[in-house]
Amino acid sequence: MLTIDLSGRTALVTGATGQLGRVMVRTLARAGADIIVHYHRNARQAALLVQEIRALNRAAIAVAADVTDSAAVAALKERAEKELRAPDIIIVNAVSQYQWTAVLQQPLADYESQYRACVTQTVLLAQAFVPGMIDRKWGRVIGINTECAMQYAKTTSAYIAGKRGMDGVLRVLAREVGEHGITVNQVAPGWTISEDCPDSDATLDYRAPVPLKRRGTAQEIANAVAFLASDMAGFISGVYLPVCGGNVMPAI
């Protein structure tokens, strides 16, 4: 039977205390990875996650950082290498929240914040950790994108601008580092069931056009991430993988 085995690997998950981040952390740890739990403000949740991971007999540390700031990312790297080890797997998941509105009313600051959250974060993490992957001749970089990047719905322009910028950086990175045994991919969730937005009749308008007629779960997103992080996906790179029940379908 095929199993996802991340034993001997270390994963950095940014935004690990969020609802999707928590599930990805637990899933990667159950697959055998040690975990660097990144958080920005929620120290309590980060500490609880570290306890959970250690209960699975995996090593874990929690590190606070603003992943859009170069000095903070450098400090994150220093702590990871000192207290655990450099990550083999990077999950670019941390996000910046803002109020969605039409292009004509959207403050410029929102576009700037999404650029920093999506593009700057990706570049800083790559520059900090991919050189070590090159030395080890193995690595995984996985960006959490969104189905919205293919939909162009009203009021989503700042979010889409940031995520499509992330897409461009990661596709170029995939070409630049592939020869070193490093894969670079993206997982693009649909509107995922969460504590903040449980499934209900209010989501019927979203679910109706989805071929699978339902919303996904955080565990289904995490499963795709774990697969791409594993040796089973060793010949997959440059992929934008929607995990959204067929709601968007990249075409050839």
* Residue 89 predicted with pLDDT over 90: yes
* pLDDT attached to residue 201: 73
Q: What tens digit of pLDDT does each residue of 200-238 get?
A: 877 889 999 999 999 999 999 999 999 999 999 999 999
When pLDDT is cut at 50, 70 and 90, the band that residue 196 belongs to is confident
pLDDT, the chain, mean: 96
* Residue 37 predicted with pLDDT over 80: yes
Is the distance from CB of 237 to CB of 185 less than 8 angstroms? yes
Domain boundaries, the chain: 10-243
Is the distance from CB of 34 to CB of 11 less than 8 angstroms? yes
DSSP, res 210: S
Q: Model's pTM, two decimal places?
A: 0.97
Q: What tens digit of pLDDT does each residue of 147-161 get?
A: 999 999 999 999 999
Reported residue count of the chain is 252
Q: What tens digit of pLDDT does each residue of 124-153 get?
A: 999 999 999 999 999 999 999 999 999 999
- Is pLDDT larger for residue 17 or for residue 194? 17
**What is the CATH code of the structural domain delimited by 10-243?**
3.40.50.720
DSSP for 100-153 reads: ---TTT--HHHHHHHHIIIIIHHHHHHHHHHHHHHHHT-EEEEEE--GGGGT--
